[in-house]
Amino acid sequence: MKDDLFIHFPFNMDSAGAVSAARRYITLIEAQLSQAYTDERAEALEQYHSLPNRDEGDYEAYIRAVERDYEDEFRPILRFASVVYLYMIFETHVSRHVSEIQRILQGDPVILKDLKAKNRCGIVEAARIYFRDYASLTFFADAQWLQLQEIACVRHCIVHDAGIPRDSKHSDTIYALESRKWLGQSVGLEINRYQGRDLGDRMILHQRFLEYCLSVVEHFFHTLGIAAEAKFPK
């Protein structure tokens, strides 16, 4: 935070701080959930071993019930909520930064709303149009804007389609994201398939996917800060 980027362009401190807080929050909640799972499973095992004449049915009732709760419900809820939260951070801070730049340019501070309506698009595309055509700030390549758009599509699928890609109007984008590589590995989004066909289940988001989303959003605000510092020095 001592870098000149943050000192000279104060509004970038807000977004950097928000993304940093999101990273800490997600890490903390994941750790707490993992500890809760470990504790609850250990307790269930203790209860299971105390049963006389225990059998496979008892194991299902005591141990597998705990495992299913965490794997099928608790972790998906946490990771779905985290993606929505990260998207909210992007939406909030990109709108704030556009308003800040518009005040410098003496323009309409709510221009993103107008661009969304005019182009019938979401905030990612509206922001891309704004920075390119109105603020003349080129700091993100098309492939990087696509990464933001893909995250937005995952968020929309969670909010509007219960996290089921097959039901989403953005299904093709989500399928493409599933095969995307990040740092030499999958981004951590998985879809249950049979013979290559989507089974219609909720998508599976691994912890790695949250790290990927954080890196994309963090890089966006960092490069925006550098570009804005160069165009609007002090």
**Percent of the chain residues topping a pLDDT of 70:** 94
Q: What are phi and psi of 186, to 5 degrees?
A: -60, 155
Calculate what percentage of the chain has a pLDDT beyond 90: 81
Q: 3-class DSSP state for residue 194?
A: strand
How far is the C-alpha of 219 from the C-alpha of 197, rounded, in Å? 34
With a CB cutoff of 8 Å and minimum separation 6, the contacts of 171 are: 157, 165, 198
Q: What are the b/e assignments for 131-150, b being 16+ CB within 10 Å?
A: beebbebebbeeeebbbbbb
Choose between 17 and 31: higher pLDDT: 31
pLDDT of residue 13: 53
Question: What's the pLDDT tens digit per position in 158-217?
Answer: 999 999 999 999 999 999 999 999 999 999 999 999 999 999 999 999 999 999 999 999
Q: Where are the domains of the chain?
A: 4-231
pTM of the prediction? Answer: 0.86
Please state, in angstroms and rounded to a whole number, the distance separating the CA atoms of residues 182 and 209: 10
Q: What is the pLDDT of residue 132?
A: 96
**pLDDT(15) > 90:** no
- Per-residue pLDDT tens over the stretch 49-94: 999 999 999 999 999 999 999 988 899 999 999 999 999 999 999 9
